[in-house]
Chains A and B, each alone.
Chain A
């Protein structure tokens, strides 16, 4: 198939490489270097989608990042991605794309019926209509809107592509590689500064690629290429294309999205699809250029109406004609440049210029080329439904209020130019309060807030010579301050055509008796009439008008619509634009894929996984693992067809009758050294610590300053000034920070050092009536009798040549020990315990059995120390010293903490001794009471008591102290359960604590 709209020669595409692609199922050809948009236009395809609200036909409006219409669903390498701008997507062999927002097809779209009902769809339509009746929202409106709206569908499949994050520092980050970006980068690089130059398009050069200028006796394009190749060779410069700096954050942190592989049929091996750069720059140069403003007239959204700069870009970069019978409608000289390019390629454009009698070099050139120009003329309305077929034009009075007789002229496209809007998004994001520049009817950056400088067109400077001068100077000055180098660069000779003043006119009045839609926001279908209605209804703040009408709220963030919207509000309100003010620019400047934001942190990589040194043994022995914070811990060791319940019961039972061994490496461990260590512990824990002898361990509870329990654990005095503290797995990091806080800030006079040793020690808890017998085998040279190593005793020893620490502490409530060896010896220790324990029927037990054992003993853990309980609530008040002060003590006087019916931990047993009690259930007095049924407490932890062979739970219950023996109900609406229960002591097994001391 021939590309009817491709000119014979010219453009920057590679005509030697033909590429085939599919759009809406049909095959076309383009060239390497095309965008999907340029290739489609070359093939005469102008209808690419439907508009959001009215489902009006949509074509192409721009040629890049500002495109509001041409959004497609892309298919690449068996993946699909929505919300892709056809004007940005580079063509590759085998590319497939489909229209979005049309159903059933782009040519016949049911939603377009909205277009004929548009009288019913004014501003605020969604708010007004779909609110009533309420039930209709779910049944009628929402399903309809979902079907009819949307800009494509997200894939539900796992994204197999890789996305990377990169952190970079530089002296100067330069956003945009047009004339100002190139000049400033060059000057700064020559001064030895570390420069990153970012360009969002595939080609460097920005406006130099399309403008008819001369720099240093080279064409703009050649000059750009020579600068870029020189920069690329410099070791202090990073030059990146396809890279959009989309966010400017605090302290000169900018984020850039680099599309590494999106332009290829398939991501290369070991390459990411996209890379997100976090760049901390000393100075930021914003050279993001400007975007042409539309002119507003009837049916100005018809396919074929587009920005004149885009038409020029399609011609000069891609060798593509957007039409063969073009009409150029302009209020400034830019439209002439486009017309001249058409003329040079044998096309005869007609220029309508709203100005009365403008004079400039470029207008003279157009006249000399024989281009037909009509001054004081405007387009009243575009005609044609799926493509422009003609235009209604008219002469306009000098005051721009009266239209003359309407004439109809044939044309196949209308190229509009309403002057230029500087791209100030990055400057605004940095906190720069922008100011309105009357001469250009647009906002430009004001005083810099962070270290940012805006140059060239982004700063409202539209002549090349001034832009280059400013930019060379800025690059030179800023880099000089950083590197102290001062390389002078000779300023090149610049040849450009001088422009005349633009016309402030931008919105064509409606002719009498006509009600054409005149669109402002092309993606969200916001028309002039919508803004008028919003203002009539009393909306004044531009932020409210924006939200009510959705002006500028689409995925293009109003790049082509914001300023015209503001102009309109200020015209109607009779205010100047700066008094109306613009809405806030927020990052990202363009849509960024979720994949790029997430980076490599997906699935198992979303957090680190920590494993104990015995992990491989657990794996080999059928452990089923559970996440405990970032740790993986064995939950149970599966034998045969056992389930969790059966296995954990077996393991717990074996601890109560024989001996079990549990991997407790994950417990937090903190080494405490220094002459004031005891004093620190005495201030941190609620009980007394000054008299703990060497070789003894003690259980302690620490509070926050507000009196709430923070953590518990045992601390052992290893030697005179050396302690070993253990914390719960979950609180390990917080406790260390807590100790550091007090040592560094509150009591710096204490001579103590703390350091985490969690990873240094592997730990095994050996628990059960036969644990001492096993210990005797493990440490035959030590006296581990009840006298030699009493409860809460500590000794250092050797486990077959390996240094070991033995603590006689118990979490299970049985006679128990905890053995620690250096991490590298963990596996050795574990295997020895299993080997020598065979004769005592040793079995490993996991966290589930561990929980069962502690619950039925009434030992509190994280589910009771939940950040809401005080010592009294968890029956730890016996450990509160009356004689000394400690962290949080003063808070314990609070009225709520001392009330006589304060909540307290209790045991809960179902009356039928069968029904398991769901954790989190509520306890109530009367199961039949009307709602809201007063909650007396909640179930904190549940297990199947292996000692009593029935369910048992712990609960935090109001007035728990006086509730023992009461009969209450457990209610779990989530599980739909009501269970009659009896309140018992929380110590369901061995209430006197004899076993641990046996």
Chain B
């Protein structure tokens, strides 16, 4: 079970969180004309990375905040966690 540092609550066990997928995906703006390809990339196409991955988790059984977690998908090492609006360097 992973140990994830919620930037709001501190270190918590994985079972308090739910996984939310790739955090680098950005939803296209509303009312903007976009191609089928762009939309498909947003809705469906995800890389299945091995290695460092920025992903979303929600602290569901805690503060209910969505957070960003930088994790190695192969080793489960967590490098850093960020608040939803935090700048990631």
Query: A-side interface residues toward B, CB under 8 Å?
Result: 249-253, 278, 280, 431, 449, 683, 705-706, 737, 740-741, 744-746, 748, 884-886, 890-891, 893
Q: Are A253 and B1 in contact (CB under 8 A)?
A: yes
B18 to chain A, nearest CB (A): 7
- On chain B, the residues within 8 Å of A744 by CB distance are 65-66, 84
Q: Are B3 and A280 in contact (CB under 8 A)?
A: yes
Q: Are A891 and B76 in contact (CB under 8 A)?
A: no
- On chain B, the residues within 8 Å of A737 by CB distance are 18, 58, 60
Q: Are B27 and A746 in contact (CB under 8 A)?
A: yes
- Taken residue by residue from 30 to 50, chain B's Cβ proximity to chain A (1 for < 8 Å, 0 otherwise) reads as 110010100100111000000
B73 at the interface (CB under 8 A from A): no
B56 to chain A, nearest CB (A): 7
B13 at the interface (CB under 8 A from A): yes
Given contacts A250-B2, A252-B3, contact A741 B20 (CB under 8 A): yes
Q: Are A741 and B66 in contact (CB under 8 A)?
A: yes
Which B residue sits closest to A736, measured CB to CB?
B64
B89 at the interface (CB under 8 A from A): no
A613 CA / B42 CA spacing, docked (Å): 44
Which 3 A-B pairs give the minimum distances between C-beta atoms? A251-B3, A885-B30, A885-B31
- On chain B, the residues within 8 Å of A746 by CB distance are 27
A787 to chain B, nearest CB (A): 38
B81 to chain A, nearest CB (A): 13
- Taken residue by residue from 49 to 84, chain B's Cβ proximity to chain A (1 for < 8 Å, 0 otherwise) reads as 000000010101000111000000001101000001
Q: Are B76 and A250 in contact (CB under 8 A)?
A: yes
Residue of B1, B31, B43, B84 near A891 (CB, 8 A) is B43
15 further contact pairs, Cβ within 8 A, besides A250-B2, A748-B84, A893-B36 = A249-B1, A250-B3, A251-B1, A251-B78, A252-B3, A253-B13, A278-B1, A431-B75, A706-B44, A740-B64, A740-B65, A741-B58, A741-B66, A744-B65, A745-B66
Residue contacts A-B, CB under 8 angstroms, 26 given: A250-B2, A250-B3, A250-B76, A251-B78, A252-B3, A253-B1, A253-B13, A278-B1, A449-B75, A705-B27, A706-B43, A706-B44, A737-B58, A737-B60, A740-B64, A740-B65, A740-B66, A741-B20, A741-B66, A744-B65, A744-B66, A744-B84, A745-B56, A745-B66, A745-B84, A891-B43
B12 to chain A, nearest CB (A): 10
- On chain A, the residues within 8 Å of B1 by CB distance are 249-251, 253, 278
B59 to chain A, nearest CB (A): 10
A885 CA / B27 CA spacing, docked (Å): 13
A250 CA / B31 CA spacing, docked (Å): 44
- On chain A, the residues within 8 Å of B13 by CB distance are 253, 280
Residue of A252, A280, A891 near B39 (CB, 8 A) is A891
Given contacts A431-B75, A737-B60, contact A251 B84 (CB under 8 A): no
A846 to chain B, nearest CB (A): 31
Which A residue sits closest to B28, measured CB to CB?
A890
Number of A-B contacts (CB under 8 A): 54
- On chain A, the residues within 8 Å of B60 by CB distance are 737
A252 CA / B13 CA spacing, docked (Å): 11
B87 at the interface (CB under 8 A from A): no
Q: Are A253 and B3 in contact (CB under 8 A)?
A: yes
- On chain B, the residues within 8 Å of A252 by CB distance are 3
- On chain A, the residues within 8 Å of B42 by CB distance are 705
- On chain A, the residues within 8 Å of B20 by CB distance are 741
A449 CA / B72 CA spacing, docked (Å): 14
A683 CA / B29 CA spacing, docked (Å): 12
A885 CA / B76 CA spacing, docked (Å): 38
A431 CA / B72 CA spacing, docked (Å): 14
Q: Are A683 and B30 in contact (CB under 8 A)?
A: yes
A411 to chain B, nearest CB (A): 52
A705 CA / B56 CA spacing, docked (Å): 17
A744 CA / B28 CA spacing, docked (Å): 16
A745 CA / B56 CA spacing, docked (Å): 10
- On chain A, the residues within 8 Å of B64 by CB distance are 740
A664 CA / B9 CA spacing, docked (Å): 35
- On chain A, the residues within 8 Å of B2 by CB distance are 250-251
- On chain A, the residues within 8 Å of B28 by CB distance are 890
A607 CA / B31 CA spacing, docked (Å): 43
Which B residue sits closest to A748, measured CB to CB?
B85
- On chain B, the residues within 8 Å of A683 by CB distance are 30
Which A residue sits closest to B78, measured CB to CB?
A251
A280 CA / B31 CA spacing, docked (Å): 48
Most buried by B among A280, A431, A744, A746: A744
- On chain A, the residues within 8 Å of B30 by CB distance are 683, 885-886
Most buried by B among A250, A252, A280: A250
Which A residue sits closest to B56, measured CB to CB?
A745
A762 to chain B, nearest CB (A): 24
A195 to chain B, nearest CB (A): 19
A368 to chain B, nearest CB (A): 55
B74 to chain A, nearest CB (A): 10
- On chain A, the residues within 8 Å of B58 by CB distance are 737, 740-741
- On chain A, the residues within 8 Å of B44 by CB distance are 706
- On chain B, the residues within 8 Å of A705 by CB distance are 27, 42-43
- On chain B, the residues within 8 Å of A253 by CB distance are 1, 3, 13
B8 to chain A, nearest CB (A): 11
A886 CA / B44 CA spacing, docked (Å): 18
A673 CA / B65 CA spacing, docked (Å): 17
- On chain B, the residues within 8 Å of A280 by CB distance are 3, 13
- On chain B, the residues within 8 Å of A431 by CB distance are 75
Which B residue sits closest to A755, measured CB to CB?
B64
Which B residue sits closest to A169, measured CB to CB?
B11
Most buried by A among B2, B20, B34, B66: B66
- On chain A, the residues within 8 Å of B31 by CB distance are 884-885
- On chain B, the residues within 8 Å of A748 by CB distance are 84-85
Which B residue sits closest to A449, measured CB to CB?
B75
- On chain A, the residues within 8 Å of B3 by CB distance are 250-253, 280
A84 CA / B33 CA spacing, docked (Å): 68
Residue of A251, A449, A890 near B34 (CB, 8 A) is A890
Which B residue sits closest to A249, measured CB to CB?
B1
A745 CA / B76 CA spacing, docked (Å): 24
A449 CA / B76 CA spacing, docked (Å): 11
A890 CA / B44 CA spacing, docked (Å): 13
Q: Are B18 and A251 in contact (CB under 8 A)?
A: no
B48 to chain A, nearest CB (A): 19
Which B residue sits closest to A742, measured CB to CB?
B27
Most buried by A among B43, B65, B78: B43
A249 CA / B15 CA spacing, docked (Å): 14
Which A residue sits closest to B44, measured CB to CB?
A706
A641 to chain B, nearest CB (A): 46
Q: Are B56 and A251 in contact (CB under 8 A)?
A: no
- On chain B, the residues within 8 Å of A741 by CB distance are 20, 58, 66
Which B residue sits closest to A167, measured CB to CB?
B13
A748 CA / B20 CA spacing, docked (Å): 17
A744 CA / B67 CA spacing, docked (Å): 9
Which B residue sits closest to A255, measured CB to CB?
B1
- On chain A, the residues within 8 Å of B75 by CB distance are 431, 449
B72 to chain A, nearest CB (A): 11
A553 to chain B, nearest CB (A): 27
A245 CA / B13 CA spacing, docked (Å): 19
A740 CA / B64 CA spacing, docked (Å): 8
A433 to chain B, nearest CB (A): 12
- Taken residue by residue from 5 to 21, chain B's Cβ proximity to chain A (1 for < 8 Å, 0 otherwise) reads as 00000000100001010
B16 to chain A, nearest CB (A): 12
- On chain B, the residues within 8 Å of A251 by CB distance are 1-3, 76, 78
A65 CA / B22 CA spacing, docked (Å): 44
A366 CA / B56 CA spacing, docked (Å): 67
A280 CA / B78 CA spacing, docked (Å): 16
A889 to chain B, nearest CB (A): 9
A251 to chain B, nearest CB (A): 4
A705 CA / B3 CA spacing, docked (Å): 30
A431 CA / B75 CA spacing, docked (Å): 9
- On chain B, the residues within 8 Å of A740 by CB distance are 58, 64-66
A853 to chain B, nearest CB (A): 34
A486 to chain B, nearest CB (A): 26
